[in-house]
Structure 1
Amino acid sequence: MFAESKKNRIEPLTGQTNRIVENTIIKGDLISEADIRIDGDLEGSITAKGKVVIGRAGKVTGKIQCMNADIEGKFEGDLLVENILTLKGTAAIEGDVVVGKLAVEPGATFNAACSMKGASLKSVQENDAKQQKATEKSA
């Protein structure tokens, strides 16, 4: 009956990927409804409702929270993956990791405290918030 204007229509973001290419350096936080691929350097946090891919040349220092992740490059920090974390043979991980499932190829470096999702990400986030409030009160 009424024609829906293209301006008001919300397109699904499935299959769309944000790309940070090699030789790009970003200091800050990324938030996305779609997938993200990092082939450059990022200092900060990534929050994505899709998949986060760190390419072979990519390096992320900070916090990642996403549905799925494939890592070929370097990551240092807190990694919260709702479903599957896949570490390729060239991956180097250091920090704290909470995942639903973990797949590690031979050759990957995994120096992390890892917990698989018996404790949900939500409870981990709530604990982080409680710890942060306690730290703020004591400061």
Structure 2
Amino acid sequence: MFSSKEKNTDRKRVMERNVIAKNTSLVGDIKSEGDFRIDGTLEGTLTTLGRVIIGVGGFVKGNVVSENAEIEGRFSGQLQVSNTLTVKSGAHITGDVTIGKLSVEPGAIFNATCAMKGAVKELNQQNAKQKASEKTA
């Protein structure tokens, strides 16, 4: 009865795109369900269910939690990306990074501690299978 309207509303919400424009500085915490593009400066925490893009002139100092991220500018802080982080050639990243998948272009500066969630899970599953086969042999 209400399912079709609710699904359409959810899709629109996720498809929203928020922009912090060039020459704009923002200090504070942001929570959103839509995508974010940052071409200015953000100091604080950004939490979104969508994608975060830090443009060439963009700078984020603080924490970012998102599903996907693409960085062309500068980032300093704690970055948690549940799916894919794409680091472009002009990017400069420092801090702590937790990701699902990582793509880094040549020329990018990536001075961060990095943990991949999917890799740890996969290794644990392989170790469990190996121990089980050793017990049966």
Question: Structure 2 matches for 1:101-120, cutoff 5 A?
Answer: 101-117=101-117, 118=119
Cα displacement string for residues 83-131 of structure 1 (whole angstroms, at most 9, x for unaligned residues) = 00000001000000000000000110000000111458xxxxxxxxxxx
Q: TM-score, normalised by structure 1?
A: 0.77
Q: Distance in 1 between matches of 2:84 and 2:9?
A: 28
Q: Which residue of 2 aligns with 1:10?
A: 9
Where structure 2 has 5 or more consecutive residues not aligned to the other structure, the ranges are 122-137
Q: Distance in 1 between matches of 2:10 and 2:116?
A: 33
Q: In structure 2, what residue type is equivalent to 1:19?
A: V
Q: Is the 8 A contact 2:14 2:49 kept in 1?
A: no
Report the secondary structure of 2:100's partner residue: strand
Q: Distance in 2 between matches of 1:45 and 1:14?
A: 19
Q: Which residue of 1 aligns with 2:23?
A: 23
Q: Which residue of 2 aligns with 1:61?
A: 61
Q: Distance in 1 between matches of 2:31 and 2:120?
A: 24
**Closer, same or farther: CA 101–11 of 1 in aligned 2, 3 Å:** closer
Q: Which residue of 2 aligns with 1:95?
A: 95
Q: Which residue of 2 aligns with 1:41?
A: 41
Superposition RMSD in Å: 2.1
Count of residues paired in the alignment: 116
Q: TM-score, normalised by structure 2?
A: 0.78
Q: Distance in 2 between matches of 1:119 and 1:63?
A: 23
* 1:78 has 2:78 as partner: yes
Query: Which deviates further from its counterpart, 110-119 or 87-96?
Result: 110-119
Q: Distance in 1 between matches of 2:62 and 2:51?
A: 17
Q: Distance in 2 between matches of 1:29 and 1:105?
A: 29
Q: In structure 2, what residue type is equivalent to 1:88?
A: K
Moved over 2 A (4+): 9-12
Where structure 1 has 5 or more consecutive residues not aligned to the other structure, the ranges are 121-139
> Larger C-alpha radius of gyration, 1 or 2?
2
Q: Distance in 1 between matches of 2:110 and 2:10?
A: 38
